[in-house]
């Protein structure tokens, strides 16, 4: 194992100085309006938007989780990643124009325009909880694990440093500071990932050497229906549901689209992100294959840390790669902080204080961001209980949350007979069964009583479960809407936005 040199440490320090400088520079405006603070003044061009979307998506779980998946399963995860390309095109050309023309700050606000306040409050509350218990925890765990292996930092110390530094410029500058720091961070983490991939392939003898050292199954993307992680039926029917929820309805992602200067910028930005999404399979999954080829004991989530901590990287290059990992962690955390703060301020606080001034809204937003940062710090000791298969863990949790939300958006836009009662019942019943699956999965099988139906409910592949839950939630929405039909379409018709 190779320790970091003085040059490597200088590069890492340089990264911190630059990113804080950028963040604080774009935070220098004293009198922010709510639009400035939460949506960067709705004045973000397509290049910044596209890079920010990509940087928001890529986090430490991609470095650790995708490499770990590559080390364990080969390139089977590739269809999951590349499916995002098609969904991003849908976001840019179908969904983004609707959001932008509606003039909303948040995705739940859009739901209120279509249905009622209950759906808005439900989605807001659920989103904030999910951000704290999945996005924040997974990012901190994966980042802390990686930095512990490379820098020999205590996991809690490293995650605390990341949270505090990110929270500093996020609280002060809002979304604009986050977006422009993400541009710099994306260059760093993408450059670092490419360097590690190149040096790793050179060490293993190129692609031919990789093929020679690994089983042929590692290079097969299409897996059988019985595959526990990536069955082709799950990729075909379940993964698009998770993808639609994540890219098209999650405030964590959509907030960047809402900040676009125009519909044209939103479309071009999402196309840029779609192009960049080609890269993760090559720069995150391939290093996992390289790690297990060079070091057969480097399995699962240990693959990327093991490869990064080896001697394949020359002095200076290793510092760039480590700084890139830190950039991905901070980029993702900043996105969580801004999206959760916006949801709390604009969907919860403003709903109960509709007459609040612009100055008050920004103040509440900063206070909310501070509270969320504190919650992230308090959550750090819990990260040791997270499953080690990070990427699959994250996707499985999303499979339990996303189907009802995806259903209410798709049916809400394209099926006019869905009303507010059908929407809220579909969200709540679908959410209940998603939560039930999660709880039963956490309980030891010996407590399920050996009942066949319960065993099937717990054991069915998470991607298949996502497809089933989507159909079930949709059926509930349609049935309840027809049983409790109203003479006219409730709330505003979406036709004016499409």
**Count: domains in the chain:** 1
Neighbours of 486 (CB within 10 A): 11
- Sequence-separated (6 or more) residues with CB below 8 Å from residue 148: 154, 155, 158, 305
Q: Is residue 1 part of a domain?
A: no
Closest CA to 281 of 66, 485, 73: 66
Q: Are 455 and 76 in contact (CB under 8 A)?
A: no
Closest CA to 420 of 487, 489, 497: 489
Q: Are 330 and 147 in contact (CB under 8 A)?
A: no
Q: Is residue 118 part of a domain?
A: yes
Q: Is residue 395 part of a domain?
A: yes
Q: Which domain holds residue 189?
A: 6-402
Distance in angstroms (rounded) separating the CA atoms of residues 120 and 385 = 32
Q: Is residue 453 part of a domain?
A: no
pLDDT in tens, the chain (498 residues): 456 788 888 888 888 889 888 888 887 765 578 888 889 889 999 999 999 999 998 887 788 778 888 888 889 888 988 999 999 999 999 999 999 988 899 999 999 888 888 999 999 998 888 887 777 777 777 777 777 777 777 777 777 777 888 888 888 888 888 999 999 989 888 988 899 999 999 999 888 988 888 888 889 888 899 888 889 999 999 999 999 999 999 999 999 999 999 999 999 999 999 999 999 999 999 998 998 888 887 777 778 888 888 888 888 888 888 888 888 888 888 888 899 899 999 999 988 888 888 888 888 888 888 888 777 677 666 655 555 455 556 667 778 889 999 999 999 888 888 888 999 999 999 999 998 887 787 675 555 556 677 777 888 888 999 999 999 999 999 999 988 876 444 444 444 544
Find residue 231's DSSP bridge partners.
Answer: 223
Q: Are 200 and 287 in contact (CB under 8 A)?
A: yes
Q: Is residue 309 part of a domain?
A: yes
Kindly report the backbone phi and psi dihedral angles of residue 44, in degrees, each rounded to the nearest multiple of 5, phi listed first: -95, 130
Closest CA to 362 of 29, 108, 124, 24: 29
SS (H, E, C) the chain: CCCCCHHHHHHHHHHHHHHHHHHHHCCCCCCCCHHHHHHHHHCECHHHHHHHHHHHHCCHHHHHHHHHHHHHHHHHHHHHHHHHHHHHHHHHHHHHHHHHHHCCCCHHHHHHHHCCHHHHHHHHHHHHHHHHHHHHHHHHHHHHHHHHHHHCCCHHHHHHHHHHHHHHHHHHHHHHHHHHHHHHHHHHHHHHHHHHHHHHHHHHCHHHHHHHHCCHHHHCCCECCCCCCCEHHHHHHHHHHHHHHHHHHCHHHHHHHHCECCHHHHHHHHHHHHHHCCCHHHHHHHHHHHHHHHCCCCCHHHHHHHHHCCCCCCCCHHHHHHHHHHHHHHHHHHHHHHHHHHHHHHHHHHHHCCCCCHHHHHHHHHHHHHHHHHHHHHHHHHHHHCCCCHHHHHHHHHHHHHHHHHHHHHHHHHCCCCCHHHHHHHHHHHHHHHHHHHHHHHCCHHHCCCCHHHHHHHHCCHHHHHHHHHHHHHHHHHHHHHHCCCCCCCCCCHHHHC
Closest CA to 433 of 474, 484, 473, 374: 473
Q: Is residue 444 part of a domain?
A: no
Distance in angstroms (rounded) separating the CA atoms of residues 261 and 240 = 28
pLDDT for residue 105: 92
Neighbours of 315 (CB within 10 A): 13
Q: Is residue 458 part of a domain?
A: no
pLDDT for residue 265: 95
Closest CA to 24 of 235, 181, 143: 181
Q: Is residue 373 part of a domain?
A: yes
pLDDT for residue 493: 44
Distance in angstroms (rounded) separating the CA atoms of residues 480 and 316 = 62
Span between the terminal Cα atoms of the chain, in Å:
57
The Cα-based distances of 218 to 129, 286, 297 in angstroms read 36, 11, 16
CATH of the domain at 17: 1.20.1730.10
């Amino acid at each position: 194992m190779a320790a970091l040199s003085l040059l490597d440490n200088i590069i890492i320090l340089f990264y911190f100085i630059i990113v804080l400088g950028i963040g604080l520079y774009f935070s220098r405006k004293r009198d922010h309006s709510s639009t400035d603070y939460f949506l960067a003044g709705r004045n973000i061009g397509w290049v910044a938007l596209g890079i920010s979307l990509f940087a928001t998506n890529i986090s430490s779980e991609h470095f650790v989780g995708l490499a770990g998946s590559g080390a364990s399963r080969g390139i089977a995860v590739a269809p999951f990643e590349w499916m995002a390309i098609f969904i991003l095109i849908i976001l840019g050309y179908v969904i983004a124009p609707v959001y932008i023309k509606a003039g909303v700050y948040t995705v739940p606000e859009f739901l209120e325009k279509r249905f009622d306040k209950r759906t808005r409050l439900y989605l807001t509350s659920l989103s904030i909880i999910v951000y704290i218990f999945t996005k924040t925890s997974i990012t901190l765990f994966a980042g802390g694990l990686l930095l512990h292996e490379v820098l020999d930092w205590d996991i809690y110390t490293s995650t605390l440093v990341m949270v505090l530094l990110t929270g500093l410029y996020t609280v002060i500058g809002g979304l604009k500071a986050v977006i422009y720091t993400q541009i710099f961070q994306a260059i760093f983490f993408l450059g670092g990932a490419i360097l590690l991939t190149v040096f790793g392939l050179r060490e293993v003898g190129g692609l031919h050497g990789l093929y020679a050292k690994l089983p042929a199954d590692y290079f097969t993307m299409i897996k059988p229906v019985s595959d526990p992680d990536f069955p082709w039926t799950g990729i075909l029917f379940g993964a698009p549901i998770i993808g639609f929820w994540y890219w098209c309805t999650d405030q964590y992602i959509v907030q960047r689209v809402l900040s676009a200067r125009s519909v044209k910028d939103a479309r071009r930005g999402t196309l840029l992100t779609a192009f960049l999404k080609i890269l993760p399979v090559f720069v995150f999954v391939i290093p996992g294959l390289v790690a297990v080829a060079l070091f057969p004991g480097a399995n699962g989530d240990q693959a990327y840390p093991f490869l990064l901590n080896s001697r394949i990287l020359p002095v200076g290059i290793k510092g760039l790669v480590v700084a890139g990992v830190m950039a991905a962690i901070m980029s993702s955390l900043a996105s969580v902080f801004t999206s959760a703060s916006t949801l709390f301020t604009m969907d919860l606080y403003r709903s109960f204080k509709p007459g609040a001034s612009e100055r008050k809204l920004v103040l509440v937003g900063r206070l909310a961001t501070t509270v969320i940062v504190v919650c992230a710090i308090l959550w750090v000791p819990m990260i040791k209980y997270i499953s080690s298969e990070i990427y699959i863990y994250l996707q499985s949790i999303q499979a339990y949350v996303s189907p009802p939300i995806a259903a209410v958006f798709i049916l809400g836009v394209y099926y006019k007979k869905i009303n507010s009662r059908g929407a809220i019942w579909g969200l709540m019943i679908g959410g209940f069964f998603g939560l039930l699956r999660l709880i039963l999965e956490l309980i030891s099988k010996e407590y399920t009583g050996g009942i066949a139906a319960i065993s099937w409910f717990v054991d069915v592949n998470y991607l298949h479960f996502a497809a089933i839950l989507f159909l079930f939630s949709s059926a509930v929405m349609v049935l309840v809407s027809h049983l409790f039909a109203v003479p006219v379409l409730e709330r505003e018709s979406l036709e004016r936005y499409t």
